Amino acid sequence: MNKSEKVEFISESLNKLYPNPPIPLNHDSVFTLLIAVILSAQCTDVRVNLVTPELFKKANNPKKMIKLGRKEIRRIIKPCGLSPQKSKSLFELSKILVKKYKGEVPDSFEALESLPGVGHKTASVVMSQGFGHYAFPVDTHIHRLAQRWGLTNGKNVKQTEKDLKRLFPEKRWNKLHIQIIMYGREFCTARGCDGITCNICSKINANRKRPIKTKKP
Active site residues: 121, 139
* Cα dihedral 19→27→131→112 (10° resolution): -130
Q: Which amino acid is at 149?
A: W
Exposure string (b/e) for 175-184, b if CB count within 10 Å is 16 or more? bbbbbbbbbb
Signed CA dihedral, 10, 12, 18, 22: sign only: positive
Residues 6+ apart with CB under 8 A from 48: 25, 36, 39, 40, 80
Contact 176, 168 (CB under 8 A): yes
| Other CB atoms within 10 A of residue 74 CB | 17
Q: How far apart are CA 194 and CA 145, in angstroms?
A: 10
The candidate with the shortest Cα–Cα distance to 181, out of 169, 197, 167, 164, is 164
Q: How far apart are CA 195 and CA 208, in angstroms?
A: 9
